[in-house]
Amino acid sequence: MSVANEVAAAAARNDYAGVLARVPYAQFIGMECERFGDELVFRLPPKKSNLGNPMLPALHGGVISGFMEMAASVQLMVMMQVTRVPRIVDFSVDYLRAGYAREAYCECKITRQGRRVANVSISAWQTNRKQPIATARAHFLLD
C-alpha cells in the first residue's frame, strides 16, 4: 500500500499505528498517535532504551527531538493528505526542562502552509500541557 493510501486509510479508521509502523525510528522509540476531533496527540510511552541520563532518570534529548520531528511529519501527512513523506528543511528545538522517565506527549500546529513549504510548531510535555519540556519549529518541503 502506498504512503498516501496508508494515510487515508489511517484517517478513516482513526488508527495511525500502520503509518507509524512504516517508520523504523517511530517503532524503535515506541511512538503512538491518537486523534481527538481535528487534533492529533502523539504519545511516547516510558521505555528504558529512550533514557539518556539513567541517574535522574531522564529521556535522551535526541529521543525528544526525534519524537517531535516525527510527530510534525505525521501531522503534515494526515492533515494535508500529502502523497509523499514531507522532507525536512530545518528543525530547531528548545529544551525547557528535563523530560523524566514517564509518558511524554506532543502536539503540532501547522503555522504556515504554502504549495511547496510548510512550517510547523511543536510542543512536548509530560504531566502538564502548560509546562512543556521542549518546543520546536520545523520547516518542510512538500513535493
Domain range list for the chain: 3-141
- Arithmetic mean of pLDDT, 62-87: 90
Determine the pLDDT at residue 1.
65
Superfamily holding 3-141: Hotdog Thioesterase (3.10.129.10)
DSSP 50: G
Here the cell at position 73 is 511529519
pTM above 0.85, yes or no: yes
pLDDT of 25 above 80: yes
Give the amino acid at 27.
Q
d(CA 106, CA 122): 7
Angle at 39 between CA 8 and CA 30, to 5 degrees: 75
Percent of residues, the chain, with pLDDT higher than 90: 64
Count Cα atoms within 13 angstroms, Cβ side, for 44.
33
pLDDT of 78 above 90: no
Element (H, E) at 122: strand 117-125
Determine the pLDDT at residue 6.
77
